[in-house]
């Protein structure tokens, strides 16, 4: 990788063990995708070659919660689905994080009905809210990076203990056009 040309390979470096461990944790988040609707398509795009989540070490999607430490909720959660998602979260390994991706996951979106939970933070400790309907892959990546920044700064996690949810809201990356947009008919 060229690093051997820049550094004396027979030498040694000194650092804090905490920094090394957090460096490894930061760059090896394993997401648990929980996609129930259209936001899931953007989640898939984020992992594909154009946006390449692998650049951030977070492309190893697992469908077994015991192997995951980053839950990405993408789409609306119905009352019926809620206990399933709760169980998945409980089975994930500590320390773990939660990203709420899109308007539906964060607030229920336009689905203000009796069957839809009005935000997964009503039953999960959400760390990062990614806005949009759907959010672009860059915004989801920004959400992952927000968690990475936190891991880099924090000390060692308490054994088996969950800290408070971070509650970070990612800013939109664009300004919406004024509505309604002018309509042109014909040529």
Smallest gap from Cβ 26 to ligand SF4, in A, equals: 27
The interface region with ligand SF4, picked from 21-29, 62-70, 88-96, 99-107 by CB under 6 A, is: 99-107
65 binds ligand SF4 (CB under 6 A): no
115 binds ligand SF4 (CB under 6 A): no
75 binds ligand SF4 (CB under 6 A): yes
Smallest gap from Cβ 174 to ligand SF4, in A, equals: 15
Residues 170 and 129: beta-carbon distance below 8 Å:
yes
Q: Locate tokens 């951030």: which residue?
A: 56
The interface region with ligand SF4, picked from 15-23, 33-41, 52-60, 148-156 by CB under 6 A, is: 33-41
Smallest gap from Cβ 99 to ligand SF4, in A, equals: 13
* 52: number of Cβ within 10 Å: 13
166 binds ligand SF4 (CB under 6 A): no
Residue of 165, 171, 100, 172 lying closest to 129 (CA atoms): 100
Task: Give the contacts of 34 (CB within 8 A, at least 6 positions apart).
Answer: 71, 72, 73, 74, 75, 85, 88
From candidates 103, 130, 140, 147, binder to ligand SF4 by CB under 6 A: 103
Tell me the C-alpha distance between 132 and 129, whole Å: 10
Nearer to ligand SF4, 31 or 102 (CB): 102
Tell me the C-alpha distance between 91 and 148, whole Å: 22
DSSP string of 77-96, one letter each residue? -BTTTHHHHHHHHHHSPSS-
From candidates 33, 109, 137, 143, binder to ligand SF4 by CB under 6 A: 109
Residues lying near ligand SF4 in the complex (CB under 6 A): 37-39, 75-76, 102-104, 109, 133-134
């Amino acid at each position: 990788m060229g690093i051997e040309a820049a550094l004396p390979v027979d030498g040694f470096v000194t650092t804090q063990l905490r920094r090394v461990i957090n460096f490894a944790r930061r760059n090896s988040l394993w997401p648990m995708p929980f996609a129930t609707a259209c936001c899931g398509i953007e989640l898939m795009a984020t992992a594909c070659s154009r946006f390449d989540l692998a650049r951030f070490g977070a492309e190893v999607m697992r469908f077994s919660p015991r192997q995951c430490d980053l839950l990405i909720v993408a789409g609306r959660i119905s009352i019926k689905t809620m206990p399933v998602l709760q169980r998945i979260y409980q089975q994930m390994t500590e320390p773990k994080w939660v990203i709420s991706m899109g308007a539906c996951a964060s607030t229920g979106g336009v689905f203000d009905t009796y069957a839809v939970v009005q935000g997964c933070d009503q039953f999960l400790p959400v760390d990062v809210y990614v806005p949009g309907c759907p959010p672009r892959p860059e915004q989801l990546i920004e959400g992952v990076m927000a968690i990475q920044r936190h891991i880099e700064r924090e000390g060692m996690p308490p054994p088996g203990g969950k800290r408070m949810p971070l509650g970070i809201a990612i800013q939109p990356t664009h300004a919406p056009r004024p509505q309604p947009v002018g309509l042109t008919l014909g040529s």
